[in-house]
Amino acid sequence: QLVYPYDFRLTEKEKTSICYLSFPDSYSGGLGDTQFSFRLRQSGGQRTAHYEDGGEYNREAPLTLQRETAHYFGYVYFRQVKDSSMKRGYFQKSLVLVSRLPYVNLFQSLLQLIAPEYFDKLEPCLEAVCNEIDQWPPPVPGQTLNLPVMGVVIQVRIPSRVDKPGSSPVKQFNQENLLPAPLVLPSVHELDLFRCFQPVLIHIQMLWELMLLGEPIVVMAPSPTVSSEMVLALTSCLAPLRYCCDYRPYFTIHDSEFKEYTTRTQAPPNIVVGVTNPFFIKTLQHWPHILRVGELRMSGDLPKQVKVKKLAKLKTLDTKPGIYTSYKTFLHKDKTLIKRLLKGIQRKRPSEVQSALLRRHLLELTQSFIIPLEHYIASLMPLQRAITPWKNPPQIRPFRQEDFMKTLEHAGPQLTCVLKGDWLGLYRRFFKSPNFDGWYRQRHKEMTQKLEALHLEAICEADIVAWMKDKSEVEIVDLVLKLREKLVRARCQHLPVKEETLQRVGLYIETIIGSLPEDLQAVLHHH
């Protein structure tokens, strides 16, 4: 019915997709308000919004909270109430917030404030809210923001790449003694993991492995709320490692990718998809891992844990909750985690404490797995003394899987993790996954930039005048052009180089040009 701000351009295809994704697509007799999320592939060419920060946010934010380039997130507040004046006897409407940022907590909390007002007062309410949001500061990683909206101030800290993984957000809140006291969100994006994973706590190990390996998974849930929370919980359980595959927290049969995902002519894609329509039990039967969950209810004891079942047991419509897969885990189950969580349930520990335990466990698991890889890749960097000013910097040595495997005997995950099992098999399988590819590319890029930076510093410390003594004009001009190119690249790619280093290289260039004959000087200055 309405897009606000008016100048926000969406293609017709995107609008249609958003409409379908904004309503529960399976019959739910539930009345009242529900919230859920979806993720949508951008269509109709690249329309990367021009952010004023020139990519600075993505350089400073954790890899798991990057601004998406080819997808939108949709955060939905859906209301269904009896209304005799409506043709269908019900009032049904959704307010959807669309963003490229995965800040599920912040945006869902914002919708809780805006949506009830909007259903009541309609468009003027949105106009007022948009005017307020326009005044918000941009999200700067590491900063705590106060965000005023509708008489409330939301206070939240934007995580940064330099935060220590697993550290809880610093409680530096409310120094300004804001009145009224702000609505403090403990995190922009973290879900209540304990609540989301309740029915599968004893299978956390298996789910972590499936996510690490980028396996195709279907989450079948009774509602978009359960489906989207489960999918987002799954994609978050590899942090600080970035989950590099596609994921759809909520997916409907009207989706433009429906054919692509349900075809049987090729293997299912590396994707986690959340669905609620029972029709999918039939169309996605050939997927290797299907997690079927019921309604999430917080209760005082350990909820009924689902069982692992054979895929052949997948019945249409009356399928019982369970993990339908023939996957055998590489690592053995961790009994201590379950014991600790059970103790927490008996002692009525708050959900956020249980979630913190769970998150810490997953973090330690991921770190035990990734630290040997980090050590090995760091050893591929050329030695600093091999970097000389007048030669191109040496190459990073290639990643050899077998060489890496040899390092595991004395420096493998067993140093930091008590879990026994086939770690080598898990690494071998990981090398074939998009998550390894994404991790390796990111590291390789960072190392290449580090080499460039070290090279610039070496140039800075060199005696350029001595070098020029026995060089021909051609060689000197060549050097000027090369140095200039380096300088431009350092600025464009925001290499980790001190500003003074860049200025000194700039002065060098001027000095060298100054020593050349005037006709050459003119040509180079003209360049």
What are the phi and psi torsion angles at 288 (to 5°)? Answer: -75, -25
β-bridge pairing 289-292 and 322-325: antiparallel
Residue 31 CA to residue 279 CA, distance in Å, equals 23
Indicate the DSSP class of residue 431. T
What pLDDT score does 398 carry? 95
Indicate the pLDDT class of residue 174, thresholds 50, 70 and 90. Answer: very low
Residue 311 CA to residue 288 CA, distance in Å, equals 8
Mean pLDDT of 290-317: 76
pLDDT digits (tens, 9 = 90+) for 315-333: 665 678 889 999 999 998 8
Residue 377 CA to residue 362 CA, distance in Å, equals 23
What pLDDT score does 232 carry? 96
Residue 130 CA to residue 282 CA, distance in Å, equals 43
Burial 12-48 (b: 16+ CB within 10 A, else e): eebeebbeebbebbbebeeeeebbbbbbbebeeeeee
Contact 204, 358 (CB under 8 A): yes
202 Cβ contact partners less than 8 Å away, ≥ 6 residues apart: 305, 333, 338
What pLDDT score does 39 carry? 95
Identify which has the larger pLDDT, 181 or 488: 488
Tokens of 453: 């930076």
What pLDDT score does 267 carry? 86
Peptide linkage before 186 cis (omega within 30 of 0)? no
Indicate the DSSP class of residue 318. S
| Percent of the chain scoring above 90 in pLDDT | 42
What pLDDT score does 45 carry? 61
Is the pLDDT at 49 greater than 80? The verdict is no
Is the pLDDT at 168 greater than 80? The verdict is no
What pLDDT score does 129 carry? 92
pLDDT digits (tens, 9 = 90+) for 464-491: 777 778 888 888 888 888 888 888 888 8
Residue 285 CA to residue 314 CA, distance in Å, equals 7
In degrees, rounded to 5, the angle at the alpha carbon of residue 508 between the alpha carbons of residues 524 and 504 is 130
Residue 104 identity: V
Helix (H, G, I), strand (E, B) or coil at 269: coil
Is the pLDDT at 175 greater than 70? The verdict is no
H or E element: which one contains 460?
helix 434-460
Helix (H, G, I), strand (E, B) or coil at 405: helix
The secondary structure of 148-195 as a DSSP string is EETTEEEEEEPP-TTSPTTPPPP----TT--SSPPEE-S-SS---HHH
Choose the most confident range, by mean pLDDT, from 37-51, 264-278, 315-329, 435-449.
435-449
The residue to which tokens 């071998």 are assigned:
428
For the ranges 70-84, 125-139, 166-180, 353-367, which has the lowest average pLDDT? 166-180
Identify which has the larger pLDDT, 296 or 146: 146
In degrees, rounded to 5, the angle at the alpha carbon of residue 358 between the alpha carbons of residues 356 and 364 is 100
In the chain, residues under CATH classification 3.40.50 are 194-358
Contact 125, 117 (CB under 8 A): yes
Identify which has the larger pLDDT, 465 or 430: 430
Contact 261, 388 (CB under 8 A): no
Q: Is the pTM of this model over 0.85?
A: yes
Is the pLDDT at 412 greater than 50? The verdict is yes
What are the phi and psi torsion angles at 185 (to 5°)? Answer: -95, 125
In degrees, rounded to 5, the angle at the alpha carbon of residue 220 between the alpha carbons of residues 214 and 224 is 105
What pLDDT score does 318 carry? 62
Nearest to 76 by CA among 130, 34, 106, 118: 34
What pLDDT score does 433 carry? 96
pLDDT digits (tens, 9 = 90+) for 85-144: 888 778 888 999 999 999 999 999 999 999 999 988 888 889 899 999 999 999 999 999
Angle, helix 351-378 to helix 204-212, in steps of 10 degrees: 40
Residue 233 CA to residue 235 CA, distance in Å, equals 6
| Percent of the chain scoring above 70 in pLDDT | 92
Nearest to 190 by CA among 359, 370, 361: 359
CATH topology of domain 194-358: Rossmann fold (3.40.50)
Contact 210, 231 (CB under 8 A): no
Mean pLDDT of 511-519: 80
pLDDT digits (tens, 9 = 90+) for 331-376: 988 888 889 988 998 898 888 899 999 999 999 999 999 999 999 9
Is the pLDDT at 51 greater than 80? The verdict is no
The residue to which tokens 């359980």 are assigned:
237
What pLDDT score does 35 carry? 94
Tokens of 408: 């595991």
Indicate the DSSP class of residue 203. G
In degrees, rounded to 5, the angle at the alpha carbon of residue 487 between the alpha carbons of residues 481 and 489 is 105
What pLDDT score does 402 carry? 94
H or E element: which one contains 108?
helix 104-121
Strands of 60-166, DSSP E: 71-82, 90-99, 144-149, 152-157
Choose the most confident range, by mean pLDDT, from 32-46, 156-170, 396-410.
396-410
Torsion on CA atoms 55, 56, 61, 65, rounded to nearest 10: -20
pLDDT digits (tens, 9 = 90+) for 385-395: 888 887 888 88
Q: Give the sign of the dihedral formed by CA 476, CA 477, CA 479, CA 484.
A: positive
What pLDDT score does 301 carry? 64
